[in-house]
Amino acid sequence: MGDVVTMDKVVSLCKRRGFIFPSSEIYGGVGSTYDYGHYGVLLKTNVKNEWWRAMLQDRDDIVALDSAIIQHPRVWEASGHLAGFTDPLVDCRTCKQRFRADHLDQLQCGQKPSKRPGEGPDCDLTEARDFNLMFETTVGPVKESGATVYLRPETAQGIFINFKNVLQFSRRKPPFGIAQIGKSFRNEITPGNFVFRTREFEQMEMEFFVPPAEADRWFAHWLAERERWYVELGIRPDHLRLRAHDADELSHYSSGTSDVEYLFPIGWSELEGIANRGDFDLSRHAEHANEKLEYVDTATRERYVPHVIEPAAGADRATLAFLVDAYDEEQVEGETRTLLRLHPRLAPVKVAVLPLVKKDGQPEVAREIWADLRRRMQAEYDEGGSIGKRYRRQDEIGTPWGVTVDHQTLEDRTVTLRDRDSLEQVRVPIEGLGDELERRLRAPWATPKLAADPA
């Protein structure tokens, strides 16, 4: 059985079930901007919480930060973004469209029949010029005299400019890390592929400060750690790979970068970048702000500028990868069952409590069970429509377990517990149900899609 997932199917399920939908739809939409609905919020929150857990709870050498989106404009001068965060662009004087000059061979021009920009007889392209991807705005009440500031294009710089604060207040010494999740903004010229590339997105970035001699070792450590994180949360290992950047792909700050790539329906694409940034950022900010950004060992008096290893992930892109990897279809009793085989820890809803019928005291008992379970985990109660329909709905939002209350429940206080993946139903007592679900939630999990994949 091959993988049935396509980007269109994921987009359609996301809309149908209220995960993610195009923004400003009632005004005709604004290109490549998306809003997250109830289940999308729950799913992305779980992704971010798992990232926090891996950074903060599972280890003791990282602290958290939440820095501002609007920072001093000189931050972007020091970081190199003002001068270097650009894409080469050409404009077409005929169709008025703008294209990435280095992607012309993959693009379509606005004229019909559509050709590559520059190929048609009427195409009239300008010379390429650099276009900065940062969004600009002004602070202060008077637009003309206000200062130009930028919406941050990455969360990382907020960490570097707080290095001294954190060092002082958290009493850390290298190796240690600072982690942050937050929105970033880039005026991407070719956004697309749903939430894969948008102009407003959330990043999950961690800057790990190390003694220079330990940089290579920590770089290798974070490559392995970050790949392991995706696998532990259910991504099929054969759909994940590490790819080292060629010298001509490296960002201005990096002496080595590897991407964690996922096999999206659009092909292998970057999920997360892990870079060895050396002392570039701290040295640049030290120079521009005229501040000492270094570590001084009080015992040995040794002083040095730490090197930085940076795992930089996208919360939306990771959410998309988990959705894509989880999407499945199978034939059950002559009907197609669509489901999300999400890791239970990521699933928006952990358990649905369903009375078989809306009478005979079943809804009352089901509501009692729901009230108990929802104190422990995200739980839903649903009594509307046929039981088959209610199961299908829960399958499509990836709910790993269904609890059904039936006539027998009223006699012996047992319920059926249904497993989303195997469809197995077992009879269990209501007493202890919460403990059992919590045990399952903590247990290691691997996607059944692994077994179904062709060798």
Instruction: Out of 117, 273, 311, 398, name the contact with ligand GAP by CB under 6 A.
Output: 273
User: Does 341 engage in binding with ligand GAP (CB under 6 A)?
Assistant: no
Q: Which of 33, 56, 128, 188 binds ligand GAP (CB under 6 A)?
A: 188
Taking each helix axis from N to C end, the angle separating 362-373 and 433-442, rounded to the nearest 10 degrees, works out to: 50
Rounded (5°) CA angle 286-290-296: 55
21-29, 175-183, 242-250, 314-322 -> range binding ligand GAP (CB under 6 A): 314-322
Q: What letters, b where the CB count within 10 A reaches 16 and e where it falls short, cover 258-271? A: bbbbbbbeeeebbb
Tell whether residue 158 is a contact of ligand GAP (CB under 6 A): no
Site string for ligand GAP, 111-150 (x = CB under 6 A): ----------------------------------------
Residues of span 251-270 touching ligand GAP by CB under 6 A: 270
Helix 315-326 and helix 38-52: axis angle, to 10°?
110
- Within 10 Å of residue 68's Cβ, how many Cβ atoms? 10
Report cis status (omega within 30 of 0) of the bond before 113.
Answer: yes
Least distance from C-beta 249 to ligand GAP, angstroms?
11
Q: How far apart are CA 81 and CA 84, in angstroms?
A: 5
At its nearest, how many Å lie between ligand GAP and the CB of residue 270? 5
Continuous segment of H or E residues that includes residue 406: none
Pick from 67, 198, 394, 404 the residue near ligand GAP by CB under 6 A.
Answer: 198
Q: 3-class DSSP state for residue 175?
A: coil
197 binds ligand GAP (CB under 6 A): yes
Binding-site size for ligand GAP (CB under 6 A) equals 18
**Residue 149 C-beta: closest distance to ligand GAP, Å:** 19
205 interacts with ligand GAP by CB under 6 A: yes
Using rule CB under 6 A, residue 203 touches ligand GAP:
yes
Measured from each CB, the residue nearest to ligand GAP is: 314
Give the DSSP H/E element, type plus range, for residue 17: none
Least Å distance, CB 198 to ligand GAP, is: 5
Among 17, 100, 152, 186, the residue binding ligand GAP under the rule CB under 6 A is 186
How far apart are CB 342 and ligand GAP at their closest, in Å? 19
Residue 276 found at the interface with ligand GAP (CB under 6 A): no
Look at residues 122, 44, 119, 80 and name the one whose alpha carbon lies nearest to residue 346. Answer: 44
**Nearer to ligand GAP by C-beta: 117 or 182?**
182
Name the residue with tokens 């005229």: 290
For residue 272, which phi and psi values (nearest 5 degrees)?
-155, 145
Rounded Cα gap, residues 390 and 455, in angstroms? 34
Contact flag: residue 402 with ligand GAP (CB under 6 A): no
Residue 399 makes contact with ligand GAP by CB under 6 A: no
3-class SS of residue 348: coil
Task: Check residue 301 and give left, alpha or beta (phi > 0: left; psi -120 to 50: alpha).
Answer: left
Are 216 and 308 a contacting pair, CB within 8 Å?
A: no
Judged by CB under 6 A, the residue of 50, 87, 91, 154 near ligand GAP is 154
**Half-sphere exposure of residue 168, counting CA atoms within 13 Å on the CB side?**
6
Q: Does 207 bind ligand GAP (CB under 6 A)?
A: no
| Chain contacts with ligand GAP (rule: CB under 6 A) | 154, 156, 186, 188, 197-198, 201, 203, 205, 270-273, 312-314, 316-317
